[in-house]
Structure formats: C-alpha cells, structure tokens
Amino acid sequence: MPKLNEYYKNRKDKKFKILAISLDTTKEDWSGFVKANCPDLLNVYDLKGWEGKASIDYFIFATPTMFVVDKDCKIIGKPMTYEEVQKSL
C-alpha cells in the first residue's frame, strides 16, 4: 500500500483512482493503517473483516487483492504485484 500511495501521489496526470477497501474489524486499526500507509488513496471500510460484502462478493481470500477496473466498472485485470499494477495503469 505505501508503494501504491507514493505512485498515485507522484503521478501528474491522475487519469485513474485507487480505492482501498479495508478488511479491518475496528475503526482504530483502519484509521491507523491509512494514516501510516496510504493517506492519499480513497479508503473505505465496513468493519466486517472477512465476512464483509467486498470479501464475499469478490472472493477475497488474501490481502492485498487488487483489481483494475475500467470506466464502466468492469474488472479488466487482477494484478498480483505492484509492478503489474504500474504496467496496467
């Protein structure tokens, strides 16, 4: 997450957004992580951890799990590494 945060922060064109969905179960854990690792990204949570809607709907079984989504909200890629994210953007 820190690498993605720096990448996004340093991009001039910003023709994309990065959304981070937390699987934390307390607001304090989520807030602390965001402040330390990815304050420039869009960050959301539902505090339900692995039982949350995002985990269930998108079959999340490990973190981080990343998706590249187009302007129509269609998943067009599932990069496994930071470098793969960079290439897809």
The CATH number covering residue 63 comes to: 3.40.30.10
Assess if residue 40 is contained within a domain: yes
Domain region containing 26: 2-84
Assess if residue 57 is contained within a domain: yes
Please determine, for residue 15, whether its predicted confidence score (pLDDT) is greater than 90: no
pLDDT band at 86 (very low <50, low <70, confident <90, very high): confident
- Coil, strand or helix: which one is 62? coil
- Coil, strand or helix: which one is 5? helix
Separation between Cα atoms, residue 87 and residue 51, nearest integer Å: 31
The pTM of this model reads 0.81
Assess if residue 7 is contained within a domain: yes
Please determine, for residue 49, whether its predicted confidence score (pLDDT) is greater than 90: yes
